[in-house]
């Protein structure tokens, strides 16, 4: 079913700022939730449709994307190899690494972006050396942020429009999300337009990879629209530019995986006031920006993208 929406009443009162809402994608899926579920629903269908039996992907060493891909692919009998870029090894990161290892996915560590690219090329061309079949693996971009993956958030925007229509929340003027690899924000940018919601997408940039930012989001949303048209959807030829969304970006928040004091404070606050668990890399930075930016138009919907299923010791 749709992910739940609710008012953040205690936070509203604490900040003396009415009109704050959350849509919680945390419990989507069966074993691991968050934004990857919506993207992987489409991506893994594509993997099966192409008759691929292996997926090669990459992300940070605390990547929810790599873990979610490994888990849901395993359910379908698809094998996964991941290239993991170093990031500060917090407790959260160690947990993800341990769980990823328990899925049986192949894990290759890389210290920098160039070495990650080199390892990806090596794995793609020499997959038999890690025990994979000789056929080329399905190459999946980090965060599953491909034109197809981002369509998961086009669906999500339609889901939100229905919830607005049912009177579960007012039509938001701002939809706020973390921005890690462009896909979530891009899907929402395109989806809100198609679903007839006038909300503006505000994305809090938590990564400084060169492809991430307003331009990358706009390009991906445009490519998503093109893909829908190619597949026969009645969609106008939409072209997005960086002016179509607001990106909140400062040099500290952008340092991927590096906690900030403001984010850690937001994490404590949301846990205490709203019983909502945030993470240091993505969601706490987004909520810290929500708290700092008093002038964002309201009603404001904070779209929660972190897994909320209880985690076992191993999968």
Ligand X SMILES: Cc1ncc(COP(=O)(O)O)c(C=O)c1O
Q: Which residues bind ligand X (CB under 6 A)?
A: 34-35, 64-65, 143, 145, 178-185, 282-283, 305-306
In the bound complex, what is the minimum distance in angstroms from residue 110's beta carbon to ligand X? 17
How near is the Cβ of 145 to ligand X at its closest, in Å? 5
Q: How far is the CB of 198 from ligand X (least distance, A)?
A: 22
Q: Least distance from C-beta 135 to ligand X, angstroms? A: 28
List the 138-140 sheet strands across, edge first. Answer: 106-110, 79-85, 54-60, 138-140
CA-angle at 255, arms to 251 and 260, nearest 5°: 85
Residue 36, token pair as written in the block: 């990857």
Contact 204, 305 (CB under 8 A): no
Cβ closest to ligand X, residue 69 vs residue 127: 69
- Provide, rounded to whole angstroms, the least separation between the CB of residue 280 and ligand X: 11
Cβ at position 83, least distance to ligand X in Å = 15
Q: Which is nearer to ligand X, 127 or 193 (CB)?
A: 193
Task: Give the residue with the Cβ less far from ligand X, 34 or 191.
Answer: 34
> Between residues 82 and 184, which has the closer beta carbon with respect to ligand X?
184
Cβ closest to ligand X, residue 127 vs residue 270:
270
Closest to ligand X by CB, 132 or 174: 174
238 or 308, CB closer to ligand X? 308
User: Peptide bond preceding 299: is omega within 30 degrees of 0, i.e. cis?
Assistant: yes
Task: Report the nearest approach of ligand X to the CB of residue 67 (Å).
Answer: 9
Q: How far is the CB of 53 from ligand X (least distance, A)?
A: 25
User: Which lies closer to ligand X via its Cβ, residue 152 or residue 172?
Assistant: 152
Alpha-carbon distance of 187 to 305, in angstroms, equals: 13
Minimal distance in Å, beta carbon 238 to ligand X?
A: 19
Angle at which helix 283-292 crosses helix 261-274, to 10 degrees, equals 90
CA distance 160 to 176: 13
Whether the Cβ atoms of residue 40 and residue 68 lie closer than 8 Å to each other: yes
Closest CB to ligand X belongs to which residue? Answer: 180
65 vs 79 by CB, closer to ligand X: 65
């Amino acid at each position: 079913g749709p992910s739940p929406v609710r008012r953040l009443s205690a936070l509203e009162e604490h900040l003396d700022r009415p009109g704050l809402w959350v849509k919680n994608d945390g419990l989507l899926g069966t074993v691991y939730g968050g934004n990857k579920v919506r993207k992987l629903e489409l991506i893994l269908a594509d993997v099966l449709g192409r008759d691929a039996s292996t997926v090669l992907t990459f992300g940070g060493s605390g990547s929810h994307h790599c873990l979610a891909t490994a888990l849901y692919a395993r359910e379908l009998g698809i094998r996964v190899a991941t290239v993991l870029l170093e990031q500060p090894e917090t407790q959260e990161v160690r947990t993800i690494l341990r769980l990823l290892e328990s899925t049986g996915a192949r894990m290759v560590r890389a210290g920098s972006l160039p070495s990650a690219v080199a390892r990806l090329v090596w794995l793609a061309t020499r997959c038999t050396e890690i025990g994979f079949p000789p056929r080329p693996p399905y190459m999946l971009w980090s965060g599953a942020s491909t034109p197809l993956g981002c369509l998961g958030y086009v669906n999500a925007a339609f889901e939100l429009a229905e919830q607005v229509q049912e009177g579960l929340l007012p039509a938001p003027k701002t939809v706020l999300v973390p921005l890690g690899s462009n896909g979530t924000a891009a899907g929402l940018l395109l989806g809100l337009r198609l679903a007839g919601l006038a909300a503006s997408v505000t994305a809090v940039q938590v990564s400084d990879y060169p492809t991430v930012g307003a331009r990358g989001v706009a390009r991906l949303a445009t490519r998503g629209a093109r893909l829908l048209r190619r597949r026969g959807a009645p969609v106008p030829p939409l072209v997005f530019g960086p002016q179509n969304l607001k990106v909140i970006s400062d040099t500290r928040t952008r340092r991927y995986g590096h906690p900030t004091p403001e984010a850690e404070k937001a994490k404590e606050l949301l846990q205490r006031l709203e019983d909502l668990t945030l993470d240091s890399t993505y969601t706490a930075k987004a909520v810290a920006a929500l708290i700092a930016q008093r002038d964002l138009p309201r009603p404001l919907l904070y779209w929660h993208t972190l897994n909320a299923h209880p985690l076992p010791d191993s999968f």
